[in-house]
């Protein structure tokens, strides 16, 4: 590799970063991808791991493997801690990397709206570890209910609360209802998992607020058909190990899932440029950073408008921005002016359960089986790696035909979960029968 070639560093091997790296395959540059994890994660299917339909390895692929045929790309496992745009250096937790051009694609994380103390009782869903932890809590709750002899305690274990009715909350609620009503009911003897309460709480007036009113109504109907209790206009004011307070009501539960807020990666702040209210970097129309034009910010970390509307935090937007930033870097190297980014909105789909989904495709609103088949096709198509696609098709076919979920494994220590928020005599009572 000629040393005169420009060095492009990409922070983050998510949807945006991988698309950018691939788009630079034939450019006369060296590409270095830095990620603190060794895998690219297909976040849209995380809820399937959290509800025991898929295994972690079905939805993740090593970044090194994804880029192994790209000769101009190399991968570094490391955490970027700050960016010095004057010296053109990315500071890592244990070193530094110099760049000529930088693409920052570090994504987003959960926001508890200033209530970080809720995190322990209400984990969010963003990483594979989060998904496995939620699966553990859900399955342990059924185990605890099975051995509980106090009816009120049993009901508390069999109540599941999901906070936030965006796509993640809706998908989680639907999948939890399905696993309770269709899968687990054959596994237990003393309890009837089909009677579990699945409660979806939303602060705003409707579910899926970013989708059309038709899709929102249809999603609510489909959720209620599955037995999900949907509560809107009910802001959460307290969360602890024994329950949730929302809209002045107290709901006793041991299992809460946080699907409400998103905050951009803190890395954006180190660029020293303007951020929006969610901490996203407000970028120029060509995705570069004001005052540091060799730096591009993309995906969930970027705040940009296209056709007067804010580009949404979705994987197609991140991929389009990744390809566009790569194209602009190639243009600068060729001495050409950069081009403004324009988002192509291909529509939005959200799934609720087996043969239940909604979709907004321009003015077309789909629901039920057809929306679900589209969702299925899109999610298989965009999964990276043949092995993953093949396995996911087989897993889904199995679930569809048999109503069975093979990944119902509880990993890790269950004692701390059983003890959470327990009344003093609870363990003895549970063990006494």
Q: Which residues are known catalytic residues? A: 171
Does 82 bind ligand FAD (CB under 6 A)? Our answer is no
Find the angle CA(67)-CA(326)-CA(374) to the nearest 5 degrees.
70
How near is the Cβ of 355 to ligand FAD at its closest, in Å?
Answer: 17
The DSSP element (H or E) to which 63 belongs, if any, is helix 63-66
CA distances from 37 to 40, 51, 126, 185 (A): 8, 23, 13, 37
Asked whether position 37 contacts ligand FAD by CB under 6 A, the answer is: yes
Please report whether residue 359 would count as binding ligand FAD according to CB under 6 A. Answer: no
**C-alpha angle 228/232/234, rounded to 5°?**
120
Smaller CB distance to ligand FAD: residue 144 or 172?
172
Minimum CB separation of residue 15 from ligand FAD in Å reads 4
Cβ at position 184, least distance to ligand FAD in Å? 22
Q: What is the DSSP letter of 51?
A: T
* Alpha-carbon distances, residue 172 vs 135, 169, 336 (angstroms): 11, 5, 47
Q: Which of residues 97-126 bind ligand FAD (CB under 6 A)?
A: 105-107, 125-126
Min separation Cβ 135 and ligand FAD, Å? 13
Residue 267, both tokens: 């890395």
Cα 16 to Cα 318: distance, rounded to the nearest angstrom? 4
Asked if 316 touches ligand FAD (CB under 6 A), the answer is yes
313 counts as binding ligand FAD under rule CB under 6 A: yes
Shortest Cβ 81–ligand FAD spacing (Å): 7
3-class DSSP state of 247: coil
Could you tell me how far CA 55 lies from the centroid of its own chain? 15
Using the rule CB under 6 A, which residue among 315, 331, 408, 410 binds ligand FAD?
315
Residue 163 near residue 169, CB atoms below 8 Å: yes
Q: Is 281 in the site for ligand FAD (CB under 6 A)?
A: no
| Residue burial 127-158, b: 16+ Cβ < 10 Å; e: rest | bbebbbbbbbbbbbbbbbbbbbeeeebbbbbb
CB atoms within 10 A of CB 233: 12
Considering only residues 9, 10, 14, 211, which one is a binding residue for ligand FAD as defined by CB under 6 A? 14
For 324-358, letters b (16+ CB in 10 Å) and e give bbbbbbbebbeeeebeebebebeebbbbbbbebbb
Q: Does 260 help bind ligand FAD (rule: CB under 6 A)?
A: no
Q: Tell me phi and psi for residue 315, to 5 degrees.
A: -65, -40
Taking Cα atoms as reference points, which of 36, 57, 17 lies closest to residue 409? 57
**Residue written as tokens 């899968």?**
183
Strands 281-282 and 288-289: unpaired
Task: Determine which residue in the list 49, 73, 80, 132 makes contact with ligand FAD, applying CB under 6 A.
Answer: 80
Q: Would strands 159-163 and 255-258 be described as parallel, antiparallel, or unpaired?
A: parallel
Among 133, 148, 178, 300, binds ligand FAD (CB under 6 A): 300
CB of 291 to ligand FAD, least distance (A): 21
- The verdict on 360 binding ligand FAD (CB under 6 A) reads no
Q: Is residue 36 close enough to count as binding ligand FAD by CB under 6 A? A: yes
Q: Shortest gap between Cβ of 408 and ligand FAD (angstroms)?
A: 20
Q: Interacting stretch for ligand FAD, rule CB under 6 A, among 149-157, 198-206, 296-304, 399-407?
A: 296-304
Q: How many residues lie near ligand FAD (CB under 6 A)?
A: 33
- Tell me if 161 contacts ligand FAD by CB under 6 A: no
Residue 267 binds ligand FAD (CB under 6 A): yes
Nearer Cβ to ligand FAD (131/144): 131
Phi, psi of 424 (to 5 degrees): -55, -40
Smallest distance from ligand FAD to CB 249, Å: 26
Is 79 one of the binding residues for ligand FAD (CB under 6 A)? yes
- Contact letters for ligand FAD, residues 39-68 (x by CB under 6 A): ----xx-x----------------------
Q: CA distances (Å), 11 to each of 5, 153, 265, 322, 382, in order?
A: 19, 47, 11, 11, 21
Q: Does 31 bind ligand FAD (CB under 6 A)?
A: no
Nearer to ligand FAD, 158 or 301 (CB): 301
Closest approach, Cβ 376 to ligand FAD, in A, equals 12
- Token pair for 271: 């660029």
The dihedral through the CA atoms of 362, 313, 56, 195 has a sign that is negative
Q: Does 314 bind ligand FAD (CB under 6 A)?
A: yes
Q: Which residue is nearest to ligand FAD (CB)?
A: 14
34 contacts ligand FAD (rule: CB under 6 A): yes
**Region from 94-102, 246-254, 310-318, 412-420 binding ligand FAD, contact rule CB under 6 A:** 310-318
Q: Which residues bind ligand FAD (CB under 6 A)?
A: 11-17, 34-37, 43-44, 46, 79-80, 105-107, 125-126, 167-168, 265, 267, 299-301, 313-316, 318
């Amino acid at each position: 590799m000629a040393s005169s070639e420009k060095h492009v560093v990409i922070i983050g091997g998510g949807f945006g970063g991988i698309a950018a790296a691939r788009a630079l395959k034939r450019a006369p540059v060296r590409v270095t991808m830095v990620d603190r994890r060794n895998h690219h994660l297909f976040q849209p299917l995380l809820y399937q791991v959290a509800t025991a339909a898929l295994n972690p390895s079905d939805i993740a692929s090593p970044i090194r493997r994804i880029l192994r045929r790209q000769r101009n790309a190399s991968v570094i496992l490391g955490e970027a801690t700050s960016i010095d745009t004057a010296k053109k250096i990315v500071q890592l937790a244990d070193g530094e990397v110099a760049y000529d051009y930088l693409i920052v694609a570090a994504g987003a994380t959960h926001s508890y709206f200033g209530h970080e103390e809720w995190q322990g009782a209400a984990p969010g869903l963003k990483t594979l570890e989060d998904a496995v932890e939620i699966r553990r809590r859900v399955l342990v709750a059924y185990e605890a209910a099975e051995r509980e002899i106090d009816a009120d305690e049993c009901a508390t274990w069999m109540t599941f609360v999901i906070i936030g009715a965006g796509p993640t909350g809706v998908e989680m609620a639907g999948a939890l209802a399905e696993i309770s009503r269709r899968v687990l009911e054959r596994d237990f003897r003393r309890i009837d998992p089909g009677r579990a309460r699945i409660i979806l709480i939303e602060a705003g007036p409707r579910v899926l607020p970013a989708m059309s009113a038709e899709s929102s109504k249809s999603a609510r109907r489909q959720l209620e058909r599955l037995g999900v209790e949907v509560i809107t206009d009910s802001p959460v004011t307290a969360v602890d190990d024994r329950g949730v307070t929302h809209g002045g009501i107290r709901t006793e539960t041991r299992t809460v899932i946080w699907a409400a807020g998103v905050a951009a990666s803190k890395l954006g702040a180190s660029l020293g440029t303007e951020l929006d209210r969610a901490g996203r970097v407000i970028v120029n129309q060509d995705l570069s950073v004001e005052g540091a034009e060799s730096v591009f910010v993309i995906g969930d970390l970027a705040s940009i408008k296209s056709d007067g509307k804010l580009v949404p935090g979705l994987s197609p937007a991140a991929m389009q921005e990744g390809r566009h930033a790569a194209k602009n870097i190639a243009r600068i190297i060729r001495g050409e002016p950069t081009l403004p980014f324009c988002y192509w909105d291909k529509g939005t789909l959200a799934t609720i359960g087996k043969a239940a989904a909604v979709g907004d495709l321009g003015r077309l609103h789909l629901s039920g089986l057809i929306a679900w088949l589209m969702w299925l096709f899109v999610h298989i198509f965009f999964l990276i790696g043949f092995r993953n696609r093949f396995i996911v098709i087989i897993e889904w076919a199995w679930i569809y035909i048999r109503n069975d979920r093979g990944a119902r494994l509880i990993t890790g220590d269950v004692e701390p979960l059983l003890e959470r928020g327990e009344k003093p005599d609870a363990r003895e009572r549970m063990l006494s029968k």
